[in-house]
Amino acid sequence: MKYEDFVRLNYLPDGDLICEYYLETKENFKKAAGAVAAESSIGTWDPNLTTMKLGIEKLAAKVFEIKGNKIKIAYPLELFEIDNVSQIFSSVAGNVFGMSIIENLRLLDIEIPEEMLKSYKGPKFGISGVRSFLKIEDRPLIGTIVKPKLGLTPKEQSDVAYKTWIGGVDLVKDDENLTSMSFNRFEERVTRVLELKDRAEEETGEKKGYMPNITAPYKEMEKRANIVTDLGGKYIMIDILTLGWSSLQEISKNTKLAIHGHRAMHGAFTRNSKHGIRMIVIAKFARLMGVDQLHTGGVVGKMEGEKDEIIKINSALKSGIMKKTFPVASGGLYPGCVEKLIKIIGKDTVIQAGGGIHAHPMGSEKGAMAMRQAVEGAMEGYSLKEYAKEHEELKTAIDRWGVVE
């Protein structure tokens, strides 16, 4: 089969995995489109294979739609070990990105057929479960990342966490590159932070959550998850992309904890609008594999993303019969972002701020209070500037950073 033979515009998909790509080539477009389908299924550069047996062509991926630079390819499920996400990505996002015939290639979206969906259980908790154990039903969750990213001792980190909890934050998490360093060992940190979490719960009468980063080689990661369980924690955080799909699948099967998914390294795949992998593809598979919360972008802030793109990702995390994954808005957020954020992405989100809490002129506790005030004011229908008139902490934050209009 030549590359062009993999283009079948009259084909009607039936139970196939469907991938949509953006494609640029300096050669014949139909040939390049067929090359993507061929090299991600049964084909290769020289069609005269002595090993090609009668009937194998039924396994060929098929380009069934071409619209401008966008193509859709249908993959028969027989091509996949359907509960092996690493193998699936090796097919649809593997060698095809390196072919010389390709100028640019971007995996835009993926449609997962029902037969494949059945192989995955999805989030253990999802939005409803997380809301249930935090006893928060009708507002966005408020989270923070302990800052600075690195350098604090376990005692210093637990003190910062405690201050933000009593200030009104619901969730505290480690940053993506904090694991178990010489200055901050994992077990001591988790022990201290969870002790102060319990104290904050007693003092505030509210449930709180701590998400320690367990990212590590798999056996060590499993050990760290067990430590969290033994200490009474409910959450773990995982850098899902640097960790790898297979380890994420395995830890999801073997833990009873809620999983907060950090997308560190995603920009290497997602940032170039013409090449790589779109975040929605990563989000869909993260949900399948049991991620309860996932960073999706904040619309505003230092990691600003396309508004429509983020809305689409958030919608994908909440659609269908599988439990819904909590989208997490983060990256340069502060109280003045809250009103616009809620208007754009709604209440079923985690609004997460690091510097926007810890750089508050009155300190971390007051910074947490300002974030809580911003959320409560927005949910009650006030403008932030109006609500700040009677809330000093929020007013101080607005004076420092302003309000996103």
Q: Which residues are catalytic?
A: 147, 262
Which two three-digit tokens encode residue 252?
A: 């999801």
The count of other CB atoms within 10 Å of the CB of residue 272 is 12
CA distances to 15, 179, 261, 334, 380 from 220, rounded to whole Å, are 39, 11, 18, 35, 45
Q: What does the alpha-carbon distance between residue 29 and residue 44 come to, in Å, rounded to a whole number?
A: 17
State the helix-helix crossing angle for 279-288 and 85-92, rounded to 10 degrees. 160
Half-sphere exposure of 292 (CA within 13 A, CB side): 20
Which two three-digit tokens encode residue 79?
A: 């091509």
CA distances to 74, 92, 182, 288 from 110, rounded to whole Å, are 10, 10, 42, 13
Query: DSSP class of residue 276?
Result: E
If you write DSSP's letter for every residue of 197-245 in order, what string do you get? HHHHHHHHSS--EEE-B--SSHHHHHHHHHHHHHTT--EEEEEHHHH-H
Which two three-digit tokens encode residue 232?
A: 């009474």
Q: What does the alpha-carbon distance between residue 248 and residue 251 come to, in Å, rounded to a whole number?
A: 5
Q: What does the alpha-carbon distance between residue 89 and residue 19 come to, in Å, rounded to a whole number?
A: 11
Phi first, then psi, for residue 397 (nearest 5°) are -65, -40
Beta-carbon contacts of 112 under 8 Å, excluding residues fewer than 6 positions away, are 17, 284, 288
Find residue 63's DSSP bridge partners: 7, 73
CA distances to 218, 299, 312 from 306, rounded to whole Å, are 34, 6, 10
Question: Is the Cβ–Cβ distance between 286 and 269 less than 8 Å?
Answer: no
Q: What does the alpha-carbon distance between residue 253 and residue 81 come to, in Å, rounded to a whole number?
A: 17
Would you say how long the chain is, in residues?
405
